[in-house]
């Protein structure tokens, strides 16, 4: 359903006995929309409502004081504002001096991508593409497709936090500290508190966070970094970008993360780091990986750094600690669809090591130690103040969002486990939590029933259920890594999982009905 903005006449119809009788469609529209999201009223309608309603009531109840009448009117305003959001009058409004009020309502509606429900004939004639009568709205509302599920539902999240987001964004735009403004400093403090990591350094993306981490550790051409082939390209791409060599190790069948038991065999004298990825939001077996690094240091005096690619796992825990607070350096991404996303690109690097933190801060600003003094070859890797302001708002509610994600995953697990033996539901190890960046199931293939993932995805799409595949080709088989000379069959588990994995819609707002619909359909 598209967004809706209610015109003043609908509000007045609802709040007046005589009009309620004459215009029942307005009342029905109001009642229907008060339980829906994405319904607005124009800011300009509020004072008009007060003015008109006050005058009407004053005629009806001449003995009432001004204060008494206003009390009644304000109770009405408070009530409709508890259902509907305010759409502001945008500064780019084209005022129509023949009807200023109408042009304000239309401009507000356009700003929030809404259609105006109105009984105003003149407005409907003038703005036919942006208006609809209550009667027609009631007809079309019943023609809406039964189900159309949103995969990540960023729209709902924006709607929920819109007033705070708008306020923070306005503040940044007005004070013009677009780079390294107050919100950046504030976010870094908030990230430290949330994760328990001593140092949090925001940066331009999850990809750049990985680059900064490796640059801080002096990763050089020819160095080897052990990682998983079952991840987003950025993990290994950044290694290769620095001229280092990604050395892949197969994954654990249950968690889809790097199989720590296979790491040792891949270590050579050139190995400089191990880079586990917290795939779908669940950390890898960090203790086991740390033990391997510790053993190598002890037996061969070779330091292996641990860099955690936590792009998908902000807030996830391993034995009670967030994975941002583990390893030598940990990174994350604030890409919009991540559990904690901004409105563009953004990321962060975490460490408990002061020297590394200082170096990462410098590398993020062209290796600068002080203005125009460049100690290192660095990069332009800062996160915009605007994006930091957005994450600051969302971070306030992140624990609540995570709890809702947990609930959704739990319900999926319960419904799918009992219903369908052909699907493997995700496993989260006892000592870990996942933030459910994805809820991914495996469509089990066998000789009699070769995998039907593609067909399943197509069929689900036709009934309004979006799905995605994270990821269809393991990295060792990607064209860009041909030069590494891995062959098909090198990592059988990663290869099998990439053929069978499929992500279902996952966001904090999936309703019980939607989960039931998805699981029943599956
Ligand atoms: C595992 C992993 N690493 C790195 C990245 C890169 O993050 P960004 O898109 O913010 O650059 C992503 C993003 O999808 C990711 O999933």
d(CA 453, CA 465): 14
Find the helix packing angle between 385-396 and 182-195, rounded to 10°: 40
Q: What is the pLDDT of residue 81?
A: 97
What is the rounded average pLDDT of the residues 154-172? 96
Looking at CATH, the fold of the domain delimited by 398-521 is given as 3.90.1150
Name the pLDDT band for 421 (thresholds 50, 70, 90). confident
Q: What is the pLDDT of residue 313?
A: 98
Name the pLDDT band for 24 (thresholds 50, 70, 90). very high
Beta-bridge partner residues of 118: none
Q: What is the value of pTM for the model shown?
A: 0.95
Tokens (6 digits) for 58: 């004053």
- The predicted-structure confidence for 454-487, as pLDDT tens digits, reads as follows 999 999 999 999 999 999 999 999 999 999 999 9
Indicate the Cα dihedral angle 56, 41, 45, 88, nearest 10°.
Answer: 160
Atom of ligand 1 nearest to the CA of 437: 16
Residue found under tokens 């799918």 = 416
Tokens (6 digits) for 38: 């994405």
Indicate which residue's Cα is closest to atom 14 of ligand 1.
232
Examine the pLDDT at 186 and tell me if it is beyond 70: yes
Distance (Å) of CA 7 to CA 98, 101, 109, 131, 178: 18, 10, 10, 10, 36
Q: Are 321 and 278 in contact (CB under 8 A)?
A: no
Q: Are 182 and 385 in contact (CB under 8 A)?
A: yes
Mean pLDDT of the residues in the chain: 96
Q: Which residues of 223-240 are buried (b: 16+ CB within 10 A; e: fewer)?
A: bbbbbbbbbbebbbbbbb
Which three-class secondary structure string do you get for 448-474? CCCCCHHHHHHHHHHCCCCCECCCCCC
CA angle 172, 176, 182 (to 5 degrees): 55
Distance in Å, CA 7 to ligand 1 centroid: 43
Name the pLDDT band for 257 (thresholds 50, 70, 90). very high
Tokens (6 digits) for 488: 């098909």
Residues with CB under 6 A from ligand 1: 205-207, 231-232, 234-235, 277, 309, 311-312, 333, 335, 345, 347
What is the rounded average pLDDT of the residues 371-386? 97
Name the pLDDT band for 263 (thresholds 50, 70, 90). very high
Domain ranges of the chain: 3-144, 158-396, 398-521
Name the pLDDT band for 148 (thresholds 50, 70, 90). confident
Distance in Å, CA 97 to ligand 1 centroid: 50
Query: Could you say which of 3.30.930.10, 3.40.640.10, 3.30.830.10, 1.20.1250.20 is the CATH number of the domain covering 158-396?
Result: 3.40.640.10
**444 or 354: which carries more pLDDT confidence?**
354
d(CA 147, CA 36): 15
CATH 3.40.50.410 assigned to domain 3-144? The reply is no
Distance in Å, CA 223 to ligand 1 centroid: 22
Q: What is the pLDDT of residue 278?
A: 98
CA 509 to the chain's CA centroid: 12
Atom of ligand 1 nearest to the CA of 333: 10
**Is the bond preceding 471 in cis, omega lying within 30 degrees of 0?**
yes
- The predicted-structure confidence for 95-130, as pLDDT tens digits, reads as follows 999 999 999 999 999 999 999 999 999 999 999 999
d(CA 50, CA 141): 29
């Amino acid at each position: 359903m598209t967004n809706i903005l209610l015109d003043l006449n609908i509000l007045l119809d609802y709040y007046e006995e005589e009009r309620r009788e004459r215009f029942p469609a307005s009342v029905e529209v109001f009642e229907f929309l008060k339980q829906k999201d994405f319904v607005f009223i124009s800011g300009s309608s509020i004072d008009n409502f007060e003015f008109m309603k006050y005058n009407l009531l004053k005629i009806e109840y001449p003995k009432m004081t001004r204060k008494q009448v206003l009390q009644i009117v304000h109770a009405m305003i408070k009530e409709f504002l508890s259902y509907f959001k305010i759409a502001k009058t945008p500064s780019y409004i084209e005022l129509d001096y023949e009807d200023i009020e109408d042009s304000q309502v239309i401009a507000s509606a356009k700003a929030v991508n809404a259609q105006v429900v109105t009984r105003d004939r003149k407005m409907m004639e003038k703005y036919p593409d942006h208006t609809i009568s209550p009667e027609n709205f009631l007809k079309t509302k019943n023609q809406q497709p039964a189900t159309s599920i949103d995969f990540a539902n960023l729209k709902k999240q924006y709607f929920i936090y819109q007033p705070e987001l708008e306020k923070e964004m306005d503040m940044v735009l007005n004070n013009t500290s677009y780079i390294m403004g107050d919100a950046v400093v504030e976010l870094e403090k908030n990230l430290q508190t949330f994760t328990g990591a001593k140092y949090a350094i925001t940066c331009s993306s999850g990809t750049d966070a990985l680059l900064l981490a490796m640059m801080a550790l002096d990763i050089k051409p020819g160095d080897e970094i052990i990682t998983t082939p079952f991840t987003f390209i950025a993990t290994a791409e950044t290694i290769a970008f620095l001229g280092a060599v990604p050395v892949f190790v197969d994954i654990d069948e249950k968690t889809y993360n790097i199989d720590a038991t296979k790491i040792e065999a891949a270590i050579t004298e050139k190995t400089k780091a191990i880079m586990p990825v917290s795939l779908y939001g669940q950390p890898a077996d960090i203790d086991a990986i740390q033990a391997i690094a510790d053993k190598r240091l002890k037996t061969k005096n070779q330091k292996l750094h641990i860099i955690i690619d936590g792009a998908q796992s902000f807030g996830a825990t391993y034995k009670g600690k967030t994975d941002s607070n583990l390893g030598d350096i940990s990174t994350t991404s604030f890409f919009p669809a991540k559990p904690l996303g901004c409105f563009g690109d953004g990321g962060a690097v975490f460490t408990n090591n002061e020297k590394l933190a200082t170096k990462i801060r410098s590398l993020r600003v062209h290796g600068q130690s002080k203005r125009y003094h460049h100690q290192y070859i660095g990069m332009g890797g800062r996160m915009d103040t605007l994006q930091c302001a957005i994450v600051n708002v969302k971070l306030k509610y992140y624990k609540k969002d995570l709890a809702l994600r947990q609930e959704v995953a739990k319900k999926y697990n319960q419904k799918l486990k009992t219903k369908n033996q052909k699907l493997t539901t995700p496993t989260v190890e006892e000592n870990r939590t996942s933030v459910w960046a994805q809820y991914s199931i495996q469509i089990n293939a066998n000789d009699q029933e070769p995998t039907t993932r593609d067909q399943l995805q197509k069929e689900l799409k036709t009934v309004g259920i979006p799905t995605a595949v994270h990821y269809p080709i393991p990295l060792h088989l990607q064209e860009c890594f041909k030069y590494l000379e891995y062959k098909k069959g090198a990592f059988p588990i990663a290869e099998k999982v990439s053929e069978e994995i499929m992500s279902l819609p996952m966001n904090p707002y999936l309703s019980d009905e939607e989960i039931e619909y998805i699981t029943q359909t599956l």
